[in-house]
Amino acid sequence: MMCRVTGLRDHFKSYSILKIIDKYNNINFTSRRNCVVCSSSLDDPLIVLPEFPLTELYVPFKNTQKTAVLDQEFYLCRKCGLGQLKNLVSGELLYSDGYVTRTSTSSSATAAIHQFTEFIDEILPDGKLDAIFDIGCNDNYLIKQFAQRSHNLFGNDPIIDSRVEDYKESQLTLIGDFFENIDFDTLGVNIDCFLCSHTLEHIVDPASFLSKALDAGNENTLYFFQFPGLEGMIRDAHFDQIFHQHFNYFSLKSIQYLLSKLGGELIDYRVNAYHWNSLMIAFRKTQTPAVNQIFFSDTCKTILNKPFILRQYELFKQSMKITSNRLKSLNNERILGYGAALMLPVLDYHLEDGLSNVEAIIDEDLSKVGKYYLNVPIQIISTKMAGRLEDSIVLLTAINSTDASRKIIPKLIDLKFRQIIIPLNLI
Protein backbone atom coordinates (compact mmCIF):
# COMPACT_ATOMS: atom_id res chain seq x y z
CA MET A 1 0.00 0.00 0.00
CA MET A 2 2.82 2.40 0.92
CA CYS A 3 4.53 1.70 -2.41
CA ARG A 4 1.34 2.50 -4.30
CA VAL A 5 0.84 5.76 -2.38
CA THR A 6 4.45 6.72 -3.00
CA GLY A 7 4.05 5.89 -6.68
CA LEU A 8 0.92 8.05 -6.96
CA ARG A 9 2.67 10.89 -5.18
CA ASP A 10 5.63 10.69 -7.59
CA HIS A 11 3.21 10.53 -10.53
CA PHE A 12 1.37 13.70 -9.49
CA LYS A 13 4.68 15.43 -8.74
CA SER A 14 5.95 14.62 -12.24
CA TYR A 15 2.64 15.76 -13.73
CA SER A 16 2.84 19.08 -11.85
CA ILE A 17 6.41 19.69 -13.02
CA LEU A 18 5.50 18.98 -16.64
CA LYS A 19 2.46 21.25 -16.34
CA ILE A 20 4.61 24.16 -15.08
CA ILE A 21 7.22 23.63 -17.79
CA ASP A 22 4.55 23.47 -20.49
CA LYS A 23 2.93 26.65 -19.15
CA TYR A 24 6.17 28.60 -19.52
CA ASN A 25 7.00 27.10 -22.89
CA ASN A 26 3.85 28.68 -24.34
CA ILE A 27 4.21 32.32 -23.38
CA ASN A 28 1.34 34.65 -24.24
CA PHE A 29 2.51 38.12 -25.26
CA THR A 30 1.62 41.19 -27.30
CA SER A 31 3.96 43.36 -29.36
CA ARG A 32 4.30 47.13 -29.54
CA ARG A 33 4.70 48.94 -32.85
CA ASN A 34 4.59 52.52 -31.57
CA CYS A 35 5.89 54.58 -28.67
CA VAL A 36 3.38 54.49 -25.81
CA VAL A 37 4.12 58.11 -24.89
CA CYS A 38 4.16 60.03 -28.20
CA SER A 39 2.82 57.36 -30.63
CA SER A 40 5.85 57.62 -32.94
CA SER A 41 6.67 54.50 -34.94
CA LEU A 42 9.45 52.47 -33.36
CA ASP A 43 12.79 52.55 -35.16
CA ASP A 44 15.12 49.57 -35.33
CA PRO A 45 15.79 48.06 -31.88
CA LEU A 46 18.88 49.22 -30.00
CA ILE A 47 19.27 45.93 -28.15
CA VAL A 48 18.14 42.48 -29.29
CA LEU A 49 17.85 39.73 -26.68
CA PRO A 50 16.98 36.36 -28.26
CA GLU A 51 15.51 33.71 -25.94
CA PHE A 52 15.63 36.12 -23.03
CA PRO A 53 14.63 34.52 -19.69
CA LEU A 54 11.70 35.41 -17.49
CA THR A 55 12.68 36.19 -13.91
CA GLU A 56 11.29 35.72 -10.39
CA LEU A 57 10.35 32.08 -11.00
CA TYR A 58 11.42 29.93 -8.05
CA VAL A 59 10.52 26.23 -8.22
CA PRO A 60 11.14 23.21 -5.93
CA PHE A 61 12.74 21.13 -8.68
CA LYS A 62 15.78 21.26 -10.97
CA ASN A 63 14.96 21.92 -14.61
CA THR A 64 17.63 21.61 -17.31
CA GLN A 65 15.33 22.30 -20.27
CA LYS A 66 15.34 25.73 -21.94
CA THR A 67 12.17 27.04 -20.33
CA ALA A 68 10.50 30.42 -19.71
CA VAL A 69 12.31 32.36 -22.44
CA LEU A 70 11.02 34.84 -25.00
CA ASP A 71 12.73 36.91 -27.69
CA GLN A 72 12.92 40.53 -26.55
CA GLU A 73 13.90 43.88 -28.06
CA PHE A 74 14.67 47.25 -26.45
CA TYR A 75 13.84 50.54 -28.18
CA LEU A 76 14.52 54.22 -27.59
CA CYS A 77 12.03 56.77 -28.91
CA ARG A 78 14.05 59.57 -30.53
CA LYS A 79 11.18 62.04 -30.21
CA CYS A 80 10.25 61.80 -26.50
CA GLY A 81 13.16 59.83 -24.99
CA LEU A 82 11.23 56.80 -23.69
CA GLY A 83 12.91 53.41 -23.51
CA GLN A 84 10.54 50.47 -23.94
CA LEU A 85 10.27 46.77 -24.62
CA LYS A 86 8.67 45.45 -27.78
CA ASN A 87 7.18 42.20 -26.48
CA LEU A 88 4.95 42.36 -23.40
CA VAL A 89 4.37 39.16 -21.46
CA SER A 90 0.83 38.91 -20.13
CA GLY A 91 0.40 39.88 -16.49
CA GLU A 92 -1.56 36.68 -15.90
CA LEU A 93 1.60 34.71 -16.66
CA LEU A 94 4.12 37.03 -15.00
CA TYR A 95 2.29 37.02 -11.68
CA SER A 96 0.22 33.83 -11.84
CA ASP A 97 2.42 31.82 -9.46
CA GLY A 98 2.42 34.42 -6.72
CA TYR A 99 4.26 37.71 -6.90
CA VAL A 100 6.99 37.27 -4.28
CA THR A 101 8.26 40.85 -3.92
CA ARG A 102 7.23 42.45 -0.62
CA THR A 103 8.61 45.90 0.18
CA SER A 104 8.98 45.42 3.93
CA THR A 105 11.15 42.30 3.52
CA SER A 106 13.77 44.02 1.34
CA SER A 107 16.31 46.29 3.04
CA SER A 108 17.09 48.09 -0.23
CA ALA A 109 13.38 48.60 -0.99
CA THR A 110 12.64 50.01 2.47
CA ALA A 111 15.66 52.32 2.21
CA ALA A 112 14.35 53.55 -1.15
CA ILE A 113 10.91 54.17 0.38
CA HIS A 114 12.46 56.24 3.17
CA GLN A 115 14.33 58.38 0.63
CA PHE A 116 11.12 58.75 -1.38
CA THR A 117 9.27 59.75 1.79
CA GLU A 118 11.86 62.45 2.54
CA PHE A 119 11.37 63.85 -0.96
CA ILE A 120 7.59 63.88 -0.48
CA ASP A 121 7.84 65.57 2.93
CA GLU A 122 9.81 68.43 1.38
CA ILE A 123 6.86 69.29 -0.88
CA LEU A 124 3.74 68.13 0.96
CA PRO A 125 2.04 71.06 2.73
CA ASP A 126 1.94 71.24 6.53
CA GLY A 127 -1.13 70.02 8.35
CA LYS A 128 -3.27 66.91 8.07
CA LEU A 129 -4.67 66.01 4.66
CA ASP A 130 -8.13 64.61 4.08
CA ALA A 131 -7.03 61.60 2.01
CA ILE A 132 -3.88 59.99 0.60
CA PHE A 133 -4.04 57.18 -1.98
CA ASP A 134 -1.18 54.74 -2.67
CA ILE A 135 -1.32 53.23 -6.18
CA GLY A 136 0.14 49.71 -6.15
CA CYS A 137 0.52 49.64 -2.36
CA ASN A 138 2.11 46.17 -2.18
CA ASP A 139 2.26 45.37 1.56
CA ASN A 140 1.42 48.96 2.61
CA TYR A 141 4.93 49.89 3.72
CA LEU A 142 4.84 53.25 1.91
CA ILE A 143 1.32 54.34 2.84
CA LYS A 144 1.92 53.54 6.52
CA GLN A 145 4.69 56.16 6.56
CA PHE A 146 1.91 58.76 6.22
CA ALA A 147 -0.44 57.49 8.92
CA GLN A 148 -0.05 60.76 10.85
CA ARG A 149 -0.45 62.97 7.78
CA SER A 150 -3.99 62.09 6.73
CA HIS A 151 -7.46 61.32 8.10
CA ASN A 152 -8.01 58.67 5.40
CA LEU A 153 -5.49 56.29 3.84
CA PHE A 154 -6.30 54.27 0.72
CA GLY A 155 -4.30 51.72 -1.20
CA ASN A 156 -4.86 49.38 -4.10
CA ASP A 157 -2.95 46.41 -5.44
CA PRO A 158 -4.18 43.32 -7.32
CA ILE A 159 -1.85 41.13 -5.22
CA ILE A 160 -4.14 41.82 -2.23
CA ASP A 161 -7.05 40.20 -4.09
CA SER A 162 -9.28 38.14 -1.76
CA ARG A 163 -6.94 38.65 1.23
CA VAL A 164 -7.98 42.25 1.87
CA GLU A 165 -9.08 41.38 5.42
CA ASP A 166 -5.63 39.97 6.19
CA TYR A 167 -4.14 43.39 5.43
CA LYS A 168 -6.86 45.34 7.26
CA GLU A 169 -5.72 48.08 9.59
CA SER A 170 -7.48 51.00 11.18
CA GLN A 171 -7.49 54.13 9.03
CA LEU A 172 -6.45 52.13 5.95
CA THR A 173 -8.90 51.14 3.22
CA LEU A 174 -7.56 48.58 0.75
CA ILE A 175 -8.81 47.75 -2.72
CA GLY A 176 -7.68 44.43 -4.16
CA ASP A 177 -7.97 45.40 -7.80
CA PHE A 178 -6.11 47.14 -10.60
CA PHE A 179 -6.00 50.93 -10.39
CA GLU A 180 -7.64 51.21 -13.81
CA ASN A 181 -10.80 49.53 -12.44
CA ILE A 182 -11.38 51.82 -9.44
CA ASP A 183 -14.41 54.14 -9.33
CA PHE A 184 -13.18 57.07 -7.24
CA ASP A 185 -16.67 58.51 -6.90
CA THR A 186 -17.51 55.64 -4.54
CA LEU A 187 -14.74 56.53 -2.04
CA GLY A 188 -16.63 59.53 -0.68
CA VAL A 189 -13.58 61.78 -0.27
CA ASN A 190 -11.38 64.06 -2.36
CA ILE A 191 -7.87 62.68 -2.72
CA ASP A 192 -5.30 65.31 -1.71
CA CYS A 193 -2.27 63.24 -2.58
CA PHE A 194 -1.47 60.21 -4.76
CA LEU A 195 1.62 58.07 -4.13
CA CYS A 196 3.01 55.51 -6.55
CA SER A 197 6.27 53.62 -6.05
CA HIS A 198 7.76 51.34 -8.73
CA THR A 199 4.52 50.66 -10.57
CA LEU A 200 4.60 52.83 -13.71
CA GLU A 201 7.36 50.72 -15.28
CA HIS A 202 5.02 47.69 -15.22
CA ILE A 203 2.04 49.38 -16.91
CA VAL A 204 1.07 48.42 -20.47
CA ASP A 205 -0.50 51.82 -21.22
CA PRO A 206 1.17 54.44 -18.97
CA ALA A 207 -0.62 57.33 -20.71
CA SER A 208 -4.09 56.00 -19.81
CA PHE A 209 -2.83 55.14 -16.33
CA LEU A 210 -1.58 58.67 -15.62
CA SER A 211 -4.63 60.21 -17.27
CA LYS A 212 -6.90 58.31 -14.86
CA ALA A 213 -4.79 59.46 -11.91
CA LEU A 214 -5.01 63.10 -13.00
CA ASP A 215 -8.77 62.79 -13.56
CA ALA A 216 -9.19 61.36 -10.05
CA GLY A 217 -7.68 64.48 -8.47
CA ASN A 218 -8.35 68.19 -8.61
CA GLU A 219 -6.28 71.33 -9.14
CA ASN A 220 -4.86 71.06 -5.60
CA THR A 221 -4.00 67.34 -5.69
CA LEU A 222 -0.30 66.47 -5.52
CA TYR A 223 1.19 63.39 -7.16
CA PHE A 224 4.41 61.65 -6.16
CA PHE A 225 5.76 58.84 -8.34
CA GLN A 226 9.05 56.95 -8.37
CA PHE A 227 10.32 54.51 -10.97
CA PRO A 228 13.67 53.36 -12.46
CA GLY A 229 15.37 56.15 -14.41
CA LEU A 230 16.63 55.54 -17.94
CA GLU A 231 19.48 58.09 -17.88
CA GLY A 232 21.13 56.46 -14.85
CA MET A 233 20.82 52.95 -16.30
CA ILE A 234 22.55 54.09 -19.50
CA ARG A 235 25.20 56.21 -17.77
CA ASP A 236 26.17 53.32 -15.46
CA ALA A 237 26.01 50.72 -18.26
CA HIS A 238 23.61 48.81 -16.00
CA PHE A 239 21.80 46.94 -18.77
CA ASP A 240 21.07 43.96 -16.55
CA GLN A 241 18.20 46.19 -15.37
CA ILE A 242 16.37 45.42 -18.61
CA PHE A 243 14.02 42.49 -18.10
CA HIS A 244 10.53 41.32 -19.07
CA GLN A 245 8.65 42.76 -16.07
CA HIS A 246 9.68 46.35 -16.81
CA PHE A 247 7.80 47.39 -19.95
CA ASN A 248 8.70 51.11 -19.76
CA TYR A 249 12.05 52.88 -19.07
CA PHE A 250 11.21 56.52 -18.41
CA SER A 251 13.72 59.30 -18.79
CA LEU A 252 13.11 62.70 -17.24
CA LYS A 253 12.46 64.00 -20.75
CA SER A 254 9.84 61.35 -21.55
CA ILE A 255 7.90 61.69 -18.28
CA GLN A 256 7.77 65.47 -18.69
CA TYR A 257 6.61 65.03 -22.28
CA LEU A 258 3.82 62.68 -21.16
CA LEU A 259 2.67 64.89 -18.28
CA SER A 260 2.53 67.93 -20.56
CA LYS A 261 0.51 65.94 -23.10
CA LEU A 262 -2.01 64.90 -20.41
CA GLY A 263 -2.40 68.32 -18.80
CA GLY A 264 0.06 67.88 -15.97
CA GLU A 265 3.22 69.71 -14.98
CA LEU A 266 6.37 68.60 -13.21
CA ILE A 267 6.98 70.40 -9.91
CA ASP A 268 10.29 68.88 -8.85
CA TYR A 269 12.38 65.72 -9.03
CA ARG A 270 15.23 63.83 -7.38
CA VAL A 271 17.35 60.83 -8.37
CA ASN A 272 18.10 57.90 -6.05
CA ALA A 273 21.48 56.75 -7.40
CA TYR A 274 21.61 53.70 -5.11
CA HIS A 275 18.30 52.08 -6.01
CA TRP A 276 17.75 51.62 -9.76
CA ASN A 277 18.77 55.28 -10.33
CA SER A 278 15.12 55.89 -9.53
CA LEU A 279 13.46 59.09 -10.64
CA MET A 280 11.34 60.56 -7.84
CA ILE A 281 8.96 63.13 -9.30
CA ALA A 282 6.30 65.50 -7.97
CA PHE A 283 3.60 66.80 -10.31
CA ARG A 284 0.08 68.23 -10.46
CA LYS A 285 -2.51 69.33 -12.97
CA THR A 286 -1.31 72.24 -15.06
CA GLN A 287 -1.85 75.45 -13.10
CA THR A 288 -1.07 77.84 -15.98
CA PRO A 289 -1.90 76.89 -19.58
CA ALA A 290 1.05 76.65 -22.00
CA VAL A 291 3.60 76.41 -19.18
CA ASN A 292 6.44 74.16 -20.39
CA GLN A 293 9.11 73.84 -17.75
CA ILE A 294 12.25 72.15 -19.03
CA PHE A 295 13.82 70.14 -16.21
CA PHE A 296 16.10 67.95 -18.30
CA SER A 297 19.56 69.26 -19.16
CA ASP A 298 21.95 69.00 -22.10
CA THR A 299 23.58 66.09 -20.24
CA CYS A 300 20.33 64.12 -20.51
CA LYS A 301 20.17 64.91 -24.21
CA THR A 302 23.68 63.57 -24.78
CA ILE A 303 22.80 60.37 -22.90
CA LEU A 304 19.56 59.72 -24.78
CA ASN A 305 21.02 59.02 -28.20
CA LYS A 306 21.71 55.80 -30.08
CA PRO A 307 25.55 56.00 -30.43
CA PHE A 308 26.09 56.68 -26.73
CA ILE A 309 23.70 53.93 -25.64
CA LEU A 310 25.37 51.41 -27.93
CA ARG A 311 28.82 52.36 -26.57
CA GLN A 312 27.58 51.89 -23.02
CA TYR A 313 25.98 48.57 -23.93
CA GLU A 314 29.32 47.43 -25.35
CA LEU A 315 30.96 48.35 -22.01
CA PHE A 316 28.36 46.24 -20.23
CA LYS A 317 29.05 43.27 -22.50
CA GLN A 318 32.78 43.65 -21.91
CA SER A 319 32.19 43.57 -18.14
CA MET A 320 30.20 40.37 -18.55
CA LYS A 321 32.94 38.86 -20.73
CA ILE A 322 35.64 39.68 -18.17
CA THR A 323 33.57 38.01 -15.44
CA SER A 324 32.96 34.98 -17.68
CA ASN A 325 36.67 34.61 -18.42
CA ARG A 326 37.50 34.95 -14.74
CA LEU A 327 35.03 32.19 -13.85
CA LYS A 328 36.49 29.96 -16.58
CA SER A 329 40.01 30.49 -15.24
CA LEU A 330 38.80 29.19 -11.85
CA ASN A 331 37.34 26.01 -13.28
CA ASN A 332 39.07 23.80 -10.67
CA GLU A 333 38.01 25.98 -7.75
CA ARG A 334 34.87 25.82 -5.67
CA ILE A 335 32.68 28.76 -6.73
CA LEU A 336 29.50 29.79 -4.94
CA GLY A 337 27.06 32.57 -5.74
CA TYR A 338 25.67 34.86 -3.07
CA GLY A 339 22.21 36.41 -3.34
CA ALA A 340 19.29 34.53 -4.91
CA ALA A 341 18.08 37.78 -6.47
CA LEU A 342 14.86 37.97 -8.45
CA MET A 343 16.81 38.97 -11.57
CA LEU A 344 19.58 36.35 -11.33
CA PRO A 345 18.48 34.65 -14.61
CA VAL A 346 19.37 37.90 -16.41
CA LEU A 347 22.94 37.74 -15.06
CA ASP A 348 23.11 34.08 -16.08
CA TYR A 349 21.95 35.08 -19.57
CA HIS A 350 24.55 37.82 -20.11
CA LEU A 351 27.52 35.75 -18.90
CA GLU A 352 28.99 33.82 -21.84
CA ASP A 353 28.72 30.41 -20.18
CA GLY A 354 26.16 31.49 -17.64
CA LEU A 355 26.67 30.30 -14.10
CA SER A 356 27.59 26.80 -15.26
CA ASN A 357 30.55 26.39 -12.88
CA VAL A 358 28.78 27.90 -9.87
CA GLU A 359 28.02 25.11 -7.39
CA ALA A 360 25.10 26.76 -5.55
CA ILE A 361 23.59 30.12 -4.66
CA ILE A 362 23.69 31.13 -0.98
CA ASP A 363 20.79 33.18 0.37
CA GLU A 364 19.65 34.08 3.88
CA ASP A 365 15.96 33.97 2.94
CA LEU A 366 14.89 30.55 4.19
CA SER A 367 11.78 30.60 1.99
CA LYS A 368 14.10 30.28 -1.04
CA VAL A 369 16.41 27.60 0.39
CA GLY A 370 16.15 24.28 -1.43
CA LYS A 371 14.58 25.84 -4.50
CA TYR A 372 15.86 26.51 -8.01
CA TYR A 373 15.07 29.04 -10.69
CA LEU A 374 12.85 27.59 -13.40
CA ASN A 375 15.45 28.55 -16.02
CA VAL A 376 18.69 28.31 -13.99
CA PRO A 377 19.41 24.77 -12.70
CA ILE A 378 21.39 25.80 -9.60
CA GLN A 379 20.09 25.12 -6.10
CA ILE A 380 19.66 27.86 -3.50
CA ILE A 381 21.20 26.95 -0.14
CA SER A 382 21.70 28.55 3.25
CA THR A 383 25.08 29.62 4.64
CA LYS A 384 25.02 26.67 7.06
CA MET A 385 24.48 24.25 4.18
CA ALA A 386 27.48 25.67 2.31
CA GLY A 387 30.06 24.22 4.70
CA ARG A 388 33.61 25.58 4.79
CA LEU A 389 33.90 28.89 2.93
CA GLU A 390 37.51 29.96 3.58
CA ASP A 391 38.79 28.07 0.54
CA SER A 392 35.87 29.03 -1.69
CA ILE A 393 35.36 31.83 -4.20
CA VAL A 394 32.11 33.77 -4.20
CA LEU A 395 30.40 35.55 -7.07
CA LEU A 396 28.05 38.37 -6.08
CA THR A 397 24.83 37.43 -7.89
CA ALA A 398 22.55 40.17 -6.46
CA ILE A 399 23.74 43.14 -8.51
CA ASN A 400 20.62 45.02 -9.63
CA SER A 401 20.55 47.47 -6.74
CA THR A 402 23.72 49.31 -5.74
CA ASP A 403 22.34 49.72 -2.23
CA ALA A 404 21.74 45.97 -1.85
CA SER A 405 25.18 45.10 -3.25
CA ARG A 406 26.92 47.45 -0.82
CA LYS A 407 25.15 45.81 2.11
CA ILE A 408 26.13 42.32 0.96
CA ILE A 409 29.87 42.98 0.54
CA PRO A 410 30.60 43.25 4.33
CA LYS A 411 28.77 39.94 4.84
CA LEU A 412 31.00 38.26 2.27
CA ILE A 413 34.08 39.65 3.99
CA ASP A 414 32.85 38.39 7.38
CA LEU A 415 32.24 34.94 5.91
CA LYS A 416 35.96 34.89 4.95
CA PHE A 417 35.60 33.81 1.33
CA ARG A 418 39.03 33.53 -0.24
CA GLN A 419 38.01 35.80 -3.09
CA ILE A 420 35.00 37.94 -4.03
CA ILE A 421 34.05 38.49 -7.68
CA ILE A 422 31.76 41.40 -8.56
CA PRO A 423 30.31 41.24 -12.11
CA LEU A 424 29.71 45.00 -12.43
CA ASN A 425 31.86 47.69 -10.84
CA LEU A 426 28.93 49.55 -9.25
CA ILE A 427 29.73 49.29 -5.56
What is the layout of strands, in order, in the sheet containing 150-156?
172-175, 150-156, 129-135, 193-197, 222-227, 278-285, 264-272
The average pLDDT across 146-155 equals: 94
Asked whether the predicted pLDDT for residue 167 surpasses 70, the reply is: no
Q: What is the DSSP letter of 147?
A: T
CB 279 within 8 A of CB 200: no
pLDDT at site 171: 77
Phi, psi of 168 (to 5 degrees): -65, 130
CB 362 within 8 A of CB 338: yes
* Mean pLDDT rounded to a whole number for the chain: 90
pLDDT at site 300: 65
CB 227 within 8 A of CB 111: no
* Calculated CA dihedral for residues 266, 198, 230, 407, nearest 10 degrees: 120
Q: Which residues contact 238 (CB under 8 A, 6 or more apart)?
A: 232, 277, 316, 424, 426
Tell me the CA distances in angstroms from 380 to 233, 249, 296, 305, 338, one per residue in order: 28, 30, 43, 40, 9
pLDDT at site 66: 93
pLDDT at site 11: 43
CB 380 within 8 A of CB 340: yes
pLDDT bin (cut points 50, 70, 90) of residue 51 is very high
Q: What is the 3-state secondary structure (H, E, C) of 31-47?
A: ECCECCCCCCECCCCCE
Strand partners, 268: 282
pLDDT at site 226: 97
Asked whether the predicted pLDDT for residue 5 surpasses 60, the reply is: no
The average pLDDT across 321-347 equals: 95
pLDDT at site 298: 55
Asked whether the predicted pLDDT for residue 161 surpasses 90, the reply is: no
pTM value > 0.85: yes
**Structural domains of the chain, ranges and CATH numbers in brackets:** 103-307 (3.40.50.150), 331-421 (3.40.50.720)
pLDDT bin (cut points 50, 70, 90) of residue 424 is confident
